């Protein structure tokens, strides 16, 4: 994905009717898709972003955007609308 693709993705999320319910699932999907198959370990970058988001009580959209911006290994696995 390129920068403009991330922006389109975020704009699409903002229009999503069930944003609060779908984002935690999407974040979990990203985390599961980034898990190391051999060790079963979560991607430390993604896990740290999630932990910081939880500590700061930021919105799931903010956490999702941080994952997009800071993780080079994020695999979204499923479409945003599903």
| Domain boundaries defined on the chain | 3-70
Residue with tokens 């779908």: 22
Confidence tier at 81 by pLDDT (50, 70, 90): very low
Residue 7 has pLDDT above 90, yes or no: no
What would the pLDDT profile of 13-34 be if each residue is shown by its tens digit?
Answer: 666 666 667 788 888 988 998 8
The verdict on pTM exceeding 0.75 is no
User: What is the rounded CA–CA span in Å between residue 12 and residue 70?
Assistant: 20
Residue 82 has pLDDT above 90, yes or no: no
3-14 and 19-33 helices, crossing angle to 10°: 140
What would the pLDDT profile of 47-80 be if each residue is shown by its tens digit?
Answer: 999 999 999 999 888 898 888 888 765 655 544 4
Task: Record the tokens describing residue 16, joined without a space.
Answer: 């999503």
Half-sphere exposure (Cβ direction) of 2: Cα atoms closer than 13 Å: 1
Q: Which helix (H) or strand (E) holds 52?
A: helix 44-55
């Amino acid at each position: 994905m390129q920068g403009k693709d991330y922006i389109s993705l975020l704009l699409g999320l903002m229009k999503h009717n069930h944003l609060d319910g779908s984002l935690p699932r999407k974040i979990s999907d990203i985390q599961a898709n980034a898990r190391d198959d051999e060790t079963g370990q979560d991607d430390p970058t993604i896990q740290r972003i999630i932990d910081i988001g939880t500590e700061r009580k930021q919105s799931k959209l903010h956490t999702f955007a941080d994952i997009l911006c800071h993780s080079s290994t994020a695999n979204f696995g499923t479409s945003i609308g599903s």
